[in-house]
Amino acid sequence: MRLHETILSSGGPLPSSSSTASGPGAITLHDIQTGTLLASFKQTSSRAHSLAVLETKAAEGGFVLALQADKPLLHAYNFQKDQIASKIVLPEKLTCIAVDPRGFWCAAGTAQGRVYIWEIGSGIMYNAWDAHYRQVTVLRFTHDGAALLSGSEDSGVSVWSVARLVDDDAKDVIPLPERSLSDHTLPVTDISCGVGPYPKCRAITASVDHSVKIWDLSSGTLLTTFSFPKPISCLAWDSTERTFFAASGDNTIYQVNLYRQREDHRVEAVGGLGANDVIRIGEPDAKAKRERYIAVEDPVTAMTISLTTSFLLVGTSTGKIHVYDVPSHQRLRTISPSLSSAAASTVPLPITHIQTMLRPADLIGHVSLDIDPKASQGAEIVPRVVAPFQRTKDAKARERHEVSMILPPSMNEWCSSEELLRDQAFFLQPQSQDKSLTGAVGASDSARVTELEEEVRRLKGDLGKAKALNDEMWDKVVKKVVKQAKEQTGEDKKGESAEERKRKRTRS
């Protein structure tokens, strides 16, 4: 199967919108090269940071989780059909959602600053705690899923250890953040995590206070602050961590290079001097040549960089997706998901989520990962199970810990039932009782056992002789030494008494 990069986007009301209706929104999948509509998932309307996607991997299908605007409801989709796979009723209205890269955990935040974390396979609520003082605006897992970053309207960013959040021994303990990134002064609007295992990775955060900050998560220290003329609404970070794009409220996208070339043609990092290192973007000066700008006709609501880092995809408030070439900033094409979708409305919904991904192998009509069509007959990718999420903590369900799983049918291709039974017999029974496995070499094994037993008997006899000889030597040596010591002691005593008698005679 050829690999194709696609664009997954979703439309919904903006946070500032006064409309409470979900509207005829849809999640769409387009080809990044041609803009062709590949799939459309209907009956959804999500705000910014309210949609999470898990890509299809190996023989397990991916899924899409979409929080519904102003409703305590979560819609789950899989790529094998365009209808809702399940509707999950939530404890309360949620403002943002995130799924870890392995698809094990789902985290969501509320307007009151509370964060929930569920196990997707079982639906068990592992933790629910007050993480911030005000609304949680964005949640992000690190690339290895070991840490969860949460941003809030209280201007704070907290780093949480996932292992501690789901620890059974600490289920009654109030979680505490491992790091508190508290240098912003106004609400946090976006977070992006760098590549690498936690804590050996970096993160960038954007805020309404006109700044974007780069953090070292291993120490929680601030590396560099970039100051912009307008508030920053969304970020897009290059996977190589060389460049990031920041969209502001004046319909401008700023490209910031994190490395620059010196006069001696050496490359050096931009910033990295700590809290006092503030780099101002957009101000006219001699060094402003390294900053580059992209002017967009409409307000930017979502943004991402393609997997190949060749294209910048920009979603706007008018429901359009612009594809720009990163080196030249030239607009290549414009995609209108609301017009290509069957759920089109007279007023297009703003693009609230946009990302790129490989074309799912289990997309409608494409259910095989095998290259050989003959080997793929009867094989299909099994969709992942998204269990209904608990609305309260249930200690009994957590103790049972029942996880729903479906083994893919492709297992029959590499392991038959006869092989399983034979392997089971091999591990459960002693080898000497399995005649089918020892028939050819039984005689040689018996001769070898007899030879080893004879050697053991001979070694035991030699050991007995050596022990007897050692005891005899010990007795002789010890007796001789003791006898000599006694004789020496007696002579010393006799000599001392003779001297004493001589001294007495001399004194008298």
**Chain-wide mean pLDDT for the chain?**
83
For residue 313, list its beta bridge partners.
304, 323
| Chain position carrying tokens 């030239």 | 330
Q: Which two tokens stand for residue 178?
A: 């491992």
**Whether residue 508 has pLDDT greater than 60:** no
For residue 383, list its beta bridge partners.
61
- The predicted-structure confidence for 203-221, as pLDDT tens digits, reads as follows 999 999 999 999 999 999 9
**Whether residue 293 has pLDDT greater than 90:** no
- The predicted-structure confidence for 143-180, as pLDDT tens digits, reads as follows 999 999 999 999 999 999 999 999 988 878 889 999 99
Exposed/middle/buried for residue 233 (C-beta within 10 Å: 0-12, 13-18, 19+): buried
| Chain position carrying tokens 């008997």 | 457
- Per-residue pLDDT at 250: 83
Least confident of 111-115, 133-137, 166-170: 166-170
| Rounded distance between C-alpha atoms, residue 258 and residue 270, angstroms | 5
- The predicted-structure confidence for 403-415, as pLDDT tens digits, reads as follows 766 655 554 455 6
- Per-residue pLDDT at 371: 39
**Whether residue 49 has pLDDT greater than 80:** yes
- Per-residue pLDDT at 157: 97
Least confident of 91-105, 176-190, 370-384: 370-384
Number of residues assigned to the chain: 508
For residue 136, list its beta bridge partners.
152
β-strands 86-89, 73-78: how paired? antiparallel
Of 401 and 111, the one with more pLDDT:
111
- Per-residue pLDDT at 301: 94
For 227, the 3-state DSSP assignment is strand
- Per-residue pLDDT at 351: 93
Residue type, 453: E
Q: In percent, how much of the chain has pLDDT > 90?
A: 50
- Per-residue pLDDT at 231: 94
Per-residue pLDDT band for 375 (boundaries 50, 70, 90) equals: very low
**Whether residue 309 has pLDDT greater than 60:** yes
Per-residue pLDDT band for 124 (boundaries 50, 70, 90) equals: very high
Per-residue pLDDT band for 281 (boundaries 50, 70, 90) equals: confident
- Per-residue pLDDT at 98: 97
| Rounded distance between C-alpha atoms, residue 318 and residue 446, angstroms | 84
Closest to 241 (Cα-Cα) out of 209, 276, 270:
270
**Whether residue 21 has pLDDT greater than 60:** no
First to last CA, the chain: 124
| Chain position carrying tokens 């070991």 | 146
Per-residue pLDDT band for 70 (boundaries 50, 70, 90) equals: confident
**Whether residue 109 has pLDDT greater than 90:** yes
222 phi-psi bin (left φ>0, alpha ψ -120 to 50, beta other): beta
- When pLDDT is averaged across residues 353-360 and rounded to a whole number, the result is 93
Least confident of 116-120, 361-365, 455-459: 361-365
| Rounded distance between C-alpha atoms, residue 24 and residue 47, angstroms | 14
- Per-residue pLDDT at 417: 72
- The predicted-structure confidence for 463-482, as pLDDT tens digits, reads as follows 888 888 888 888 888 778 87
**Whether residue 126 has pLDDT greater than 90:** yes
For residue 137, list its beta bridge partners.
none
| pTM reported for the whole predicted model | 0.75
- Per-residue pLDDT at 245: 96
- When pLDDT is averaged across residues 336-349 and rounded to a whole number, the result is 62
- When pLDDT is averaged across residues 413-425 and rounded to a whole number, the result is 68
Of 356 and 81, the one with more pLDDT:
356
- Per-residue pLDDT at 262: 78
**H-helix segments, 429-441:** 435-438
Cα 217 → chain centroid = 15
- Per-residue pLDDT at 471: 85
- The predicted-structure confidence for 149-159, as pLDDT tens digits, reads as follows 999 999 999 99
| Rounded distance between C-alpha atoms, residue 29 and residue 8, angstroms | 5
Closest to 275 (Cα-Cα) out of 207, 218, 227, 210:
227
- Per-residue pLDDT at 159: 97
State the Cα angle at 441 between 437 and 447, rounded to 5°: 135
Per-residue pLDDT band for 289 (boundaries 50, 70, 90) equals: very low
- When pLDDT is averaged across residues 387-398 and rounded to a whole number, the result is 88
DSSP H or E run through 469: helix 442-507
- Per-residue pLDDT at 470: 86
- Per-residue pLDDT at 385: 86
- Per-residue pLDDT at 442: 55
Closest to 187 (Cα-Cα) out of 142, 157, 224:
157
Per-residue pLDDT band for 496 (boundaries 50, 70, 90) equals: low
